């Protein structure tokens, strides 16, 4: 091929410029690699081309993509190497550099190889190429092989072109020096683009690994919280996808790109990261008297002391000449009362949906009993702190402990807002930090209203509540039946707690049922009459 005309050089420069722009804008490595090979073929009028990529262990070159126009061949690409073609080894059995293969030679020595006619070349082993020609009735002639490296000299791949064609006559010709210089320039640009994309991918992987690291820490601290942090993002994405597909109603215009879905997924994984600062005895408080251990055992011991004292009084009365039958009857009555009180306090310690005022008053009455402690002093049967815990109306947390729990969302926001999120992830703190806000503005930590909350944050709020209601692994409660959870969620949609439009999608698109089938105990999944769910109209 003769030297190129100024017009042809200008055309190649334009192609090189267009590729440079495309490589800078692209984020799909597979698409970038294919584009590199196609532009190289078009630029040099090559009939065929192969793009090699290093194997995972760096011992060879795998055929990533092979194209041939005359034979209408396309192998590999789309992230998968041409698996039926064995990799080209970069080293021989003795560990020496493989210089017999032209692709390995270029990769090992970092230089281009331009061969006018492979059937006349004696420097390299072209037995594989000859087998290919024989199998397909092809005639390989001119070869141009160029390595691709990053700024540190690390091998990124090898670009190999076959059979340059004269555009006027259609004859196979050699790749000239101008071809080689342009392809070397293209390979250099491709190396920069691939390096950038690999660095971006590695940073994304590092970020996800750090997110998982936080969740591993949460899981080690509290398996219940760890499981919650895995399930909430799953349910969040299920509901977000259902909202994305909505064609009618208030959310008909809501759409999410893949990048926005990824952003929401990360936010879901991090939505409770602040709990890493919450004391584990508060997070997993299974009973009202639990701290590092369940202190109901201390009350049992005190009752054993009272029962012992009652028996001693009866025995002393008999020794003093009292009526044995009356003393025994009084002892039995007193012991029955003490055991009844003990059983009552054991039950009160468990916690529940709502402790009645009468039961709360009974705890305070029992607290007035006196007993002699280990130091020999008489003291109230229950301390003020024990009374506070045993009279908790809902659940197992005192008001102070509930504030500690609620502070986790403040810490979540504080932790996430301290990070320098890139532009495509800048909404992570808002999504993760808004799952305890309410539509009516009565949520926390910022008291946002529905209008001030993004749709993804409202989605996560529903996912968080539903998973918490149905979770079967919490130490302080049993997982609710599916019908009961939907009843509660429906009432929340009516009283301004959650988004009624999203709740409608949650039911109408059977998101609740898909999640239940995969993650709930089958014994919790009862029959659902959607017409009876509050806030939902079939």
Helix axes 223-244, 258-270, angle to 10 degrees: 160
What span, in angstroms and rounded, lies between the C-alpha atoms of 197 and 421?
Answer: 18
- Cα-flanking dihedrals φ and ψ of residue 163, to 5°? 60, 80
What are the chain's domains?
6-200 (3.30.450.40), 222-283+401-532 (1.10.3210.10), 296-394 (no CATH)
- Contact present, 431 and 454 (Cβ < 8 Å): yes
Check: CB of residue 287 under 8 Å from CB of residue 476. Answer: yes
Instruction: State the residue for tokens 């092809």.
Output: 138
Q: Do 272 and 412 touch, CB atoms closer than 8 A?
A: yes
> Cα 333–338–343 angle (5° rounding)?
125
Q: What is the pLDDT of residues 91-118, one digit of tens each?
A: 988 899 999 999 999 999 999 999 999 9
Q: Peptide bond before 445: cis, by omega within 30 degrees of 0?
A: yes
Per-residue pLDDT, 11: 64
In the prediction, which pLDDT does 224 show? Answer: 67
CA distance 457 to 177: 59
Helix (H, G, I), strand (E, B) or coil at 158: strand
- What is the distance between the alpha carbons of residues 517 and 303, in angstroms, rounded to a whole number? 47
- Element housing 287 (H / E): none
Residues of the chain predicted below pLDDT 50: 1
* Torsion of the alpha carbons at 7, 12, 13 and 15, rounded to the nearest 10: 130
- Residues 385-419 as b or e (16 or more Cβ within 10 Å = b): ebbebbbbeebbbbeebeeeeebbbbbbbebbeee
Q: Which string of b and e fits 34-60 if b means at least 16 CB within 10 Å?
A: bbbbebbbebbbbbbbbbbbbeeeeeb
In 381-517 the beta strands, taken as DSSP E runs, fall at none
pLDDT in tens, 301-360: 999 999 999 999 999 999 998 888 999 999 999 999 999 999 999 999 988 778 999 999
First to last CA, the chain: 74
- 370-372 and 378-380: which strand pairing? antiparallel
Coil, strand or helix: which one is 53?
Answer: strand
What is the DSSP-derived secondary structure letter of residue 114?
Answer: E
- Residue 537 has a CB neighbour count (10 Å cut-off) of 9
The owner of tokens 């420097």 is 123
Output the pTM of the full model.
0.69
Alpha-helix runs per DSSP H in 177-252: 177-221, 223-244
Q: Cβ of 74: how many Cβ atoms within 10 Å?
A: 13
Q: How far apart are CA 30 and CA 118, in angstroms?
A: 30
pLDDT of residue 3: 62
How many Å separate Cα 85 from the centre of its chain?
36
Given a contact cutoff of 8 angstroms between Cβ atoms, the answer to whether 164 and 144 are in contact is yes
How many other CB atoms are there within 10 angstroms of residue 298's CB atom? Answer: 13
């Amino acid at each position: 091929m003769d030297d190129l005309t100024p017009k042809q050089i200008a055309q190649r420069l334009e192609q090189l410029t267009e590729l440079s722009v495309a490589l800078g804008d692209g984020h799909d490595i597979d698409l970038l690699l294919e584009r590199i090979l196609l532009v190289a073929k078009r630029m040099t009028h090559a009939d065929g081309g192969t793009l090699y990529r290093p194997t995972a262990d760096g011992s060879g070159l795998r055929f990533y993509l092979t194209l041939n126009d005359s034979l209408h061949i396309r192998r590999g690409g789309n992230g998968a190497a041409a698996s039926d073609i064995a990799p080209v080894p970069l080293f021989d059995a003795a560990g020496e550099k493989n210089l017999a293969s032209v692709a390995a030679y270029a990769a090992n020595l970092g230089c281009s190889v331009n061969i006018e006619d492979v059937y006349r070349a004696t420097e390299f082993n072209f037995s594989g190429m000859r087998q290919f020609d024989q199998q397909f009735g092809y005639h390989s002639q001119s070869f141009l092989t160029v390595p691709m490296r990053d700024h540190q000299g690390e091998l990124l791949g090898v670009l190999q072109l076959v059979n340059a064609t004269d555009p006027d006559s259609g004859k196979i010709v050699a790749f000239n020096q101008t071809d080689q210089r342009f392809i070397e320039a293209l390979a250099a640009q491709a190396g920069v683009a691939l390096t950038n994309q690999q660095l971006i991918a590695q940073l994304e992987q590092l970020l996800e690994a750090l997110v998982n690291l936080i969740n591993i820490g949460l899981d080690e601290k509290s398996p219940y919280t760890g499981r919650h942090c895995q399930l909430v993002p799953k349910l969040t994405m299920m509901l977000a996808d259902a909202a994305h597909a909505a064609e009618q109603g208030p959310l008909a215009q809501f759409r999410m790109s893949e990048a926005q879905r990824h952003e929401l997924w990360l936010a879901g994984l991090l939505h409770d990261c602040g709990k890493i600062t919450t004391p584990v005895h508060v997070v997993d408080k299974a009973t009202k008297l639990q701290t590092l251990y369940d202190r109901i055992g201390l009350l049992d011991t005190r009752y054993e002391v009272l029962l012992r004292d009652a028996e001693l009084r009866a025995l002393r009365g008999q020794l003093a000449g009292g009526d044995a039958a009356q003393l025994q009857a009084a002892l039995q009555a007193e012991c029955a009362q003490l055991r009844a009180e003990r059983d009552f306090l054991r039950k009160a310690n468990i916690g529940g949906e709502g402790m009645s005022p009468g039961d709360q008053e009974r705890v305070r009455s029992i607290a007035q009993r006196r007993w002699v402690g280990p130091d020999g002093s008489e003291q109230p049967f229950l301390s003020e702190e024990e009374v506070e815990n045993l009279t908790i109306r809902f659940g197992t947390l005192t008001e102070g402990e509930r504030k500690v729990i609620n502070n986790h969302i403040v810490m979540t926001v504080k932790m996430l807002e301290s990070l320098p999120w890139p532009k495509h992830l800048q909404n992570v703190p808002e999504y993760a930090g808004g799952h305890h806000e309410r539509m009516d503005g009565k949520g926390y930590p910022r008291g946002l209203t529905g209008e001030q909350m993004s749709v993804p944050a409202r989605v996560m709020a529903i996912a968080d509540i539903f998973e918490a209601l149905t979770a079967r692994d919490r130490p302080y409660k049993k997982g609710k039946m599916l019908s009961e959870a939907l009843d509660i969620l429906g009432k929340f949609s009516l009283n301004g707690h959650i988004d009624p439009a999203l709740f409608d999608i949650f039911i109408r698109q059977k998101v609740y049922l898909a999640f239940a089938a995969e993650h709930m105990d089958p014994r919790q999944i009862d029959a659902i009459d959607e017409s009876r769910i509050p806030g939902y109209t079939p």
